[in-house]
Structure 1
Amino acid sequence: MPEEGMRTVQTDKGPVEIPVNPQVIVSDYYLGEFLAVNVKPVIASPYSLSNPFLKGMVEGIQELNTVSAETSLEMIVAKEPDLIVTITEADYEKYAAIAPTVYIQDGSRSDEELFYYIAGLVGKEKEAEAYIADFRKRAEAAGEEIREIVGNRTVSIVEVWPQQIYTMGSHFARGGSILYDIWKLKAPSAVQAEMVDADTPYKVVSLEALPEYTGDFILYGVLEDTDSSFVEESRLWNSLDAVKAGRVLAYEQVAFMHRDPITLNAQLDIFVDFFRSVGEKE
């Protein structure tokens, strides 16, 4: 590739030379960020491709074979990419031997900073700015209404995995950045202190501890193929005020794990509909 077609970008592995206008892109994680600025990678991870909020946008993208490292590298080489963007530090050197590679450390940037950074890799900063501005406008327009509905009550996020219960705040996707960072809703005090005001991403809690970590509203997800009856059929769960009053939003866990701008836009609509429906009943 001619020298004038390259530029230096700062990455979490130091400065890297990448094409000024990359055309063939591989990403093992960050898919929604590219699609939001109308850039379609040729290969993406099954994790990203499984996001139902991206349905209808991923045709033609090859699913990375993550079962075999050798096969996945062969797939990437066959596409002759001019840019690889990865979340996987362990694979960085292997990828860098194939094409210019940008490693992005998970959690090192806010959702908006991450989106803008990725858009910048493909010269789409203006598109990202417009997308972010539109999202902010929509979110803030709904914020006053949502805060009026919620009032002084608390909002919590609970997720059930096999024989484990997770609770989280604003740092672990699930729309927490909308609830707590943009709308400034309050979490139960234990969650607020550790997972909103501080940097703890999540905590595993016992069933017996749920009253301390669940609020007046509960966002509730279940990992795919998980038997959640140990929670839902328990006397404790069914004694919670949010459960008794129907202030529980059941979400699709595989979708809410993501935090790309397309997902956040979809989550915003889901949250607005949920809180409005509660407000209409009260």
Structure 2
Amino acid sequence: MKSLKKVGVLFTLLITTLAMVGCASTTTEEKSTAMKTVQTDKGEVEIPENPKRIISDYYLGEFLAVGVKPIIVSPYALNNPYLKDDIEGIEPMNITSSETTLEQFSAAKPDLIVTITEADYEKYSKIAPTVYIQDGKRSDDETFEYIASLVGKEKEAKDYIEQFLQKAEEHKQEIQDIVKDQTVSIVEVWPQQIYTMGSHFARGGRILYDLWDLKAPEKIQKEMVDGDKQYEVVSLEALPEYAGDFVLYGVLDGTDPAFVTSSNLWNSLPAVKNGKTLPYEQVSFMHRDPITQSKQLEIFIDFFEQFKE
């Protein structure tokens, strides 16, 4: 009888222990699948508190800057040279067709999709909780902070932004003393087209015009810095009106820029004659994520410091 009682006691203890383990497992599982409600550009959406399998059809540098690596991202974002050291293991979106993209997303079993494409929102939201971020609605920093908040990395984003702005501010007076009353412009060469832009279309314009208060040629300053216009396509003949004393210029990948850079007009520009041109890699400068902007800041500092008297 005593032996039976001992067995009974041990059995009871075993059941109790298993029950406790079961409760602990349930609690852990509940934590990993806990949801939170976020305000998005499509209204309130429930997303995981701690999403692990994230897909984005645009944003990448914003996630990487706070130590989060999505599982699938647009090849457009993966092509950014400034992010190449952090993208190992990320799968490029299959953009052969919308059907192949949806098949890929479904097979990946994401727990969060972040999209810049409103037209795809309904299709994506049938696969997983989806956050649509309207392009241009927020400043670059606001977009970064918003994306960081989706993955619980608000502090990391604030710290990153603070360090970036502090570095820009530390060099502001130095750069202004170098540039003085000279103008700075951004020019981009596409097939048989020339684009000029100010502070609203990436390419580092935010740093030059908004953070450092450098001035652009009058036409650019009025419409694309002080105004809301993002860019303007200009003819080669009109380029002197848009070319500043310093010219930053990029060339779209695969484009032969000779129709501009080999022309007498281009080579007669003061910036070209005085060696005050900065060629940039268009495939990277077209992005606006925090990692890219930090790299642009370093490039600009090095460029302008060449002309320190």
Tell me the equivalent position of 1:159. 188
Q: Give the counterpart of 1:19 among 43, 48, 53.
A: 48
Runs of 4+ in 1 over 2 A off after TM superposition: 1-4
Give the secondary-structure state (helix, strand or coil) at the position aligned to 1:17. strand
For residues 236 and 115 of structure 1, the distance between their equivalents in structure 2, rounded to whole angstroms, comes to: 41
Q: Mean alpha-carbon deviation: is it higher for 71-80 or for 174-183? A: 71-80
Give the secondary-structure state (helix, strand or coil) at the position aligned to 2:174. helix
Alignment of 1:93-104 (within 5 A): 93-104=122-133
AA at the equivalent of 1:118: I
Tell me the equivalent position of 2:257. 228
Q: Give the counterpart of 2:271 among 232, 242, 251.
A: 242
Alignment of 1:98-247 (within 5 A): 98-247=127-276
Tell me the equivalent position of 2:96. 67
For residues 230 and 262 of structure 1, the distance between their equivalents in structure 2, rounded to whole angstroms, comes to: 33
1:259 Cα offset (Å): 0.5
Q: Structure 2: any 5+ residue segments left out of the alignment? A: 1-28
| CA offsets 1:123-142 (integer angstroms, 9 cap, x no match) | 10000000000001111111
Tell me the equivalent position of 1:81. 110
Tell me the equivalent position of 1:266. 295
| CA offsets 1:171-227 (integer angstroms, 9 cap, x no match) | 000011000110010111100111011111111011111111110000000001101
For residues 145 and 103 of structure 1, the distance between their equivalents in structure 2, rounded to whole angstroms, comes to: 40
Give the secondary-structure state (helix, strand or coil) at the position aligned to 1:199. coil
For residues 67 and 166 of structure 1, the distance between their equivalents in structure 2, rounded to whole angstroms, comes to: 29
- 1:52 equivalent to 2:81? Answer yes
- 1:36 equivalent to 2:62? Answer no
Q: Mean alpha-carbon deviation: is it higher for 244-253 or for 136-145? A: 136-145
For residues 147 and 174 of structure 2, the distance between their equivalents in structure 1, rounded to whole angstroms, comes to: 32
AA at the equivalent of 1:276: E
Compute the TM-score of the two structures, normalised by the length of structure 1. Answer: 0.97
Q: Structure 1: any 5+ residue segments left out of the alignment? A: none
AA at the equivalent of 1:165: I
AA at the equivalent of 2:118: E
Identity %: 68
1:18 Cα offset (Å): 0.9
Give the secondary-structure state (helix, strand or coil) at the position aligned to 1:269. helix
For residues 48 and 8 of structure 1, the distance between their equivalents in structure 2, rounded to whole angstroms, comes to: 27
For residues 221 and 201 of structure 1, the distance between their equivalents in structure 2, rounded to whole angstroms, comes to: 16
For residues 86 and 45 of structure 1, the distance between their equivalents in structure 2, rounded to whole angstroms, comes to: 10
AA at the equivalent of 1:104: I
For residues 93 and 149 of structure 2, the distance between their equivalents in structure 1, rounded to whole angstroms, comes to: 24
For residues 2 and 98 of structure 1, the distance between their equivalents in structure 2, rounded to whole angstroms, comes to: 21
For residues 115 and 278 of structure 1, the distance between their equivalents in structure 2, rounded to whole angstroms, comes to: 33
Q: Which has the larger radius of gyration?
A: 2
